[in-house]
Amino acid sequence: MLPLLPQARFRIYTTLNSYVQGFRALLSGRASPSADLSLLEKALRERFSVEHAILVPQCRVGIYLALKNLIQPGQKVIMSPYTIVDVSNMVLLAGGRPDYVDVERHSCNISADLVEKRLGADTGAVLITHLHGMAAEADRIRTLCAKHGVPLLEDCAQAFGTREKGRLVGTFGQAGIFSFGMYKNVNTWLGGAILTDDSSLAEKIRSELTAFQASPRPMLRIKLM
C-alpha cells in the first residue's frame, strides 16, 4: 500500500475541482476539439518562443509523427536504452531502427561522447530524453547532429520547464515532444505537444492529425477514474 504522502515522483497533482471540471467537459461534449486547444497551443508557442506548437493525443504519438516525417525507412535512430518500451515501439512504427547508446552514470541521460562515436551515414535521427528533469547535453548533441546533417529530436516528457544554458529544453532540436500525462510536470490526464520551428514538418504533422479520431468518451472516463 502506498503511504499517505508518497514520494513526489509517484504523486498525482490533481484536485477535486479538476475532476469535477473534467466530468463536466465529458458530459457537455467539451472534451472534443475546441477553441481551448488553440489557446493552449498559443500559450506554448509564446512560452517556448517557437513557430509551431501542435497538440497530440500522447507524447509517444508525437515522437512517432515527428520521426515518421523526418527519417527514411530503415534508418537508425540513436537513442537511450533507458526509456519505456513505447518509445522504442514508436521508432519501429515510424520505420526506424533503434540504435541504443549507453547513458552517463551521473545523470542516466544519453552520453554525448557515445552519440558522437555512433553517428554515421545510416543514422536518420538522434532522439534524446531529458530524464527526471535533467537536461541531456542538448546543446552539444545539437552541434554534433548539425555536422552530420542529422535531425535532433528531444523527448521532454519529464522536463517541462527545464533549461540548459538558459535555454528551455525542447527548443534545441528539430522538434521537442512533451507529455501532459497524469504524472508529468504539467498534466491534463492525457495528451502531449510537439514544438518546432520547422514549418514543413509542422504542416505534415497537422495533415496527419486531421485523420485521427477523437478518443471515445468511455476511454476518457477511465482516465478520470
Cα–Cα dist 204/65, whole Å: 9
Q: Which among 66, 72, 95 is positioned nearest to 200, based on CA atoms?
A: 66
Q: Which among 221, 222, 217, 193 is positioned nearest to 206, based on CA atoms?
A: 193
**DSSP H/E element including 65:** helix 59-68
Question: Quick count: other Cβ atoms within 10 Å of Cβ 135?
Answer: 22
- Strand-pairing partners, residue 52, are 196
Contact at 8 Å (CB) between 206 and 56? no
**Residue burial 5-34, b: 16+ Cβ < 10 Å; e: rest:** eeeeeeeeeeeeeeeeebeebbeeeebeee
Burial (CB count <10 Å: 0-12, 13-18, 19+), residue 87: buried
Residue 184 annotated in active site? yes
- Count CA within 13 A, CB hemisphere, residue 68: 18
Q: Which of 42, 76, 147, 184 is catalytic?
A: 184
Q: What is the DSSP string of 87-122?
A: HHHHHHHTT-EEEE--B-TTT-SBPHHHHHHH--TT
183, amino acid identity? Y
Active site residues: 184
